[in-house]
A = this chain, B = another copy of it.
Amino acid sequence: MQREPIVSVIGPGEAVQFMESMAFDVGRGLAELGITLVCGGGSGVMEAACRGAREYGGRTIGILPGADPEEANPYVDIAIPTGLGEARNPLVVSSGQLVIAIGEGYGTLSEVAYALRLRKHVIGLGTWAIPGIDEAVSPADALEKASAALGLSI
Contact = CB atoms under 8 A, between A and B. Distances in A.
A95 B79 contact: yes
Chain A interface, >50% SS class: mixed
B106 A85 contact: no
Contacts of A63: 80
Given A95-B79, A109-B130, A117 B86 contact: yes
B94 A81 contact: yes
Interface string A90-121: 11001100000000001101101110111000
Nearest to A94: B81
Contacts of A75: 1
Contacts of A87: 82-84, 87-91
The complex is assembled from copies of this chain, and their number is: 4
B84 A85 contact: yes
A77 interface: yes
20 contacts: A1-B74, A3-B69, A3-B72, A3-B78, A67-B85, A67-B94, A81-B91, A82-B94, A83-B85, A84-B87, A86-B90, A87-B88, A89-B110, A106-B113, A106-B114, A109-B110, A109-B112, A109-B130, A110-B110, A110-B113
